Amino acid sequence: MSVKSVSPGTLNNRYDSNVSRSAKAAPDIKTRKTRRVAAELEEFLGIPSKPRRSEPPLECLIATLLSQNTNDRNSHRAWMTLRKRFPTWQRVADAPTRLLAKAIEVGGLKNQKARRIKQILRGIKRRVGKYELSDLKRKSEQEVLEYLTSMDGVGLKTAACVLVFSLGRDVFPVDTHIHRICNRLGLVRSRNAEETFHAMQPLVPKGKAYSFHVNLIRFGRSVCKAKNPLCGACPLYDRCVYPAKERFAEETPRGARSKRTDADFMILHNLAVS
């Protein structure tokens, strides 16, 4: 994704000094609804606990890239194999593309991802002289987004994951699943995840980006699935505007409920290599 896709001020809308006093005093309907949905998901799934230690930005960036177009378990296996076969980023950068692809093949798109990882590492080395992104800690959210999305294969979702999971910023990442749920709930009306990302930033309650992101992922895996959602077991049924919810409510198996063990696994919480 090119840097042009990151519109200026994307992450500053909720702090815009040009917003009128009346608008600040009376949040719009979508803002209030988003706040209620975030709170109800915390009641339903709990407040997610953050890992004790955040991974460095480069580790988070590469792990998120490996998670593209696959599930967490396969991307985690790809990550673990990559780090064990090539323990340093220098060795990853120097490795033949075919060997790198072999190490990460379980995560899918092995050749494409291998080429992109090497390109990203070469670009970082040229820019800062070493394989690390610690300088991102001193940059604004907008600067981080612009820099990361200038890399081939790094989109808004990947860049936002680095911001929230590694740098601890209050930014709300949006993948295709969160895009689906936000539209079903009527929080936004958007055509793709990028549009949803821009639309949701000013709506998410301050300080709740991490919790809301994680809980929406859990919710999407356990209840609001892409196919055959469990609408009959949904705690947000009355807030939902999904046209097919009544049909899926009737089709929901009796006693259906969230499988929290599977839903709680996230690659960005499991990057340690033993």
Q: Are 117 and 92 in contact (CB under 8 A)?
A: yes
CB 5 within 8 A of CB 194: yes
Dihedral of the alpha carbons of 79, 82, 87, 91, in degrees to the nearest 10? -130
Where are the domains positioned within the chain? 27-50+172-263, 57-167
Q: CATH number of the domain at 27-50+172-263, please? A: 1.10.1670.10
| One CATH from 3.40.30.10, 1.10.340.30, 3.10.129.10, 1.10.1060.10 for 57-167 | 1.10.340.30
Q: Please tell me the predicted confidence (pLDDT) of residue 267.
A: 62
Q: Is 11 helix (H, G, I), strand (E, B) or coil?
A: coil
- 205-224 pLDDT tens trace: 999 999 999 999 999 999 99
Q: pLDDT of 172-210, one tens digit each?
A: 999 999 999 999 999 999 999 999 999 999 999 999 999
Q: How far apart are CA 258 and CA 43, in angstroms?
A: 14
* pLDDT higher at 258 or 205: 205
The residue to which tokens 């606990």 are assigned? 49
User: For the purposes of burial, counting CB atoms within 10 Å of the CB of 25, is it exposed (0-12), middle (13-18) or buried (19 or more)?
Assistant: exposed
Structure tokens at 69: 């177009």
